Structure 1
Amino acid sequence: MRTFIKYYEPSLNPLSGGKGAVSVLSPATVANVVCGFDILGFALNNPTDEFTVSLSDEVGVHIINDDDFNLPTNPEINVSGAALLAMLEECPDVKGFTVISKKVVKPGSGIGSSAASAAGPVVAANILLGNRFSKSDLVRFAMFGEKVASGVKHADNIAPAIYGGVTLIRSIFPLDIISIDAPPLHVTVVHPQIEVRTADARQILKQHVLLKDAIKQWGNIAGLVAGLIQQDYDLIGRSLEDVIIEPVRSILIPGFNEVKQKCKDAGALGGGISGSGPSIFMLSKDAETAKAVEEVMKDVYNRIGLDYQTHLTTINQEGVKQVV
């Protein structure tokens, strides 16, 4: 196993995207999709991060941050760095990579910031290498980045970021990812300006689940997948129910129950916590309803007096894409 100990602070790194550099846009994602904890996710058309990756003559991964998030540049504790180090383990002909990170998706927002940071660079590096790795391989590498972020190798954000659209993670070991066709859906996201760390949100989860709750959850997951495939909006709406995770995690998010109920009253199919939160997402059949849902979200948080950011978007069918 190779050891990578050399890294540059951004101000000292002489590299700015070498010959043959590839730039990509890496999407935000919604994971869990209410009832599908750790197994369902979809990509968003906005917001997106931008990463530029080039081959380096220096051994290891060299990170330049071109944003204000002050993320670590040591690749072993950086999400992008960990993913690229995992890739380098299977590239004996490659010395190293330089990655320039320009993040927009705020860490701790619940819309897959760490997944965007892991997925984007490995896709860009793969393009540099002539696409020698499959999408499944890229997910496998990117999961090392997710482990840095949360302590767990989960793929419900990574898979849709790389594959695009809606994905089902049937298994992690071995990795088994299924793309799910879905009808047109409009997505409204509100991000209350608090941070919920994924690792912390996992620690509060129940370790034991009642059989009756598990049965209900299985029915909702199956119903949601069937509703997406059959383009049955009513079934999608009925299935967007979580009886295991949401009741626990929602207590970390001010205004959650009010936002959810009022958005459904405004015509949303349903929704819930995006990832581990604090972002809340709602799905709608049309743009007009999605906009009305956004206004509901704004009204709730304006009244609470909590700063927030909203995103009005649709499902991204491409995943990470090269900037041409």
Structure 2
Amino acid sequence: MSSSSTTTGNNVFEVGEYVTLLVSVQAQSCCSKSSPAISVPPPKPLLIATPSAKGDFPLLLFLHGYLLHNSFYSQLILHIASHGFIVIAPQLYTVAGPDTSEEIKAAAAITDWLSAGLQYVLPPDVRPSLTKLGLAGHSRGGKAAFALALGYTTTSLKFSALMGIDPVDGMDKGKQTPPPVLTYVPRSFDLDMAVLVVGSGLGEVKKNPLFPPCAPKGVNHEDFFNECRAPVSYFVVKDYGHVDMLDDDTKGFKGKATYCFCKNGKAREPMRRFVGGVVVAFMKAYLEGDHTDLMAIRGGKEIGVPVALQTVKFLV
């Protein structure tokens, strides 16, 4: 476990009041320092960001983007955890083809594991509120999150809030990866929960002529929003790209590639703070019943929003 520094502010775009920990859990029982030995190991390796203080905390299952490491989201999930949430970020795969079916099944299996195993890998006196469960995913992970919420496979726990962070359903309209999620029928998603969709203004812009945009029009955030029914909140961040919510320092070949294949903004920190803050505001609204921060962001009130917003829409 490792601690992160905190401040004691309530602004959702700043670090919250809780001291946080990162916990790594392997998919098999072991006795390494980084992974507690448990009798019910998870089906996939996990990175968990959690408050260290005593209390009952809502949960967020966060699914990573295509070919990315869950560790690339460490700063983001620690930000969310510092506001009083437990974030479970599985490593769904390291290499994958176009079909997302197996990662959707893996996400469902991890959801089912939460009841049996999560308590045993958390700090003492940190208790997960299994009835307050959110689901989020970035890029292809956003597509997988929507598929899981739409019932492509069943889970033993019920999600109460769904968040797509620049979700992508393929290479272009007509080139969806299987199984397709978008139907291109407005308000067709039959979701029994509130939805947040966050888009990047530069996601549909090519980084260079050799590669397609990372979030191309026809299969991106705009299409996901158009198929959601109320209640749904939709924000598009101007001047930032598809992977600008990742850690500043993403190591290895895959980490360096995140700076090469997608059009990026000038820095990642503002986009990461916005994504972390709006996710916190959304979960406070729909898991805890406090809509104050989400309504302030929707209404354009000054609460320290760290980015310029290109689009703000919502259906209630």
Query: Which one has a bigger Cα radius of gyration?
Result: 1
Bin the TM-score by the shorter chain. Answer: under 0.3
TM-score normalized by structure 1?
Answer: 0.27
What TM-score does the superposition give when structure 2 sets the normalisation length?
Answer: 0.27
More helix by share: 1
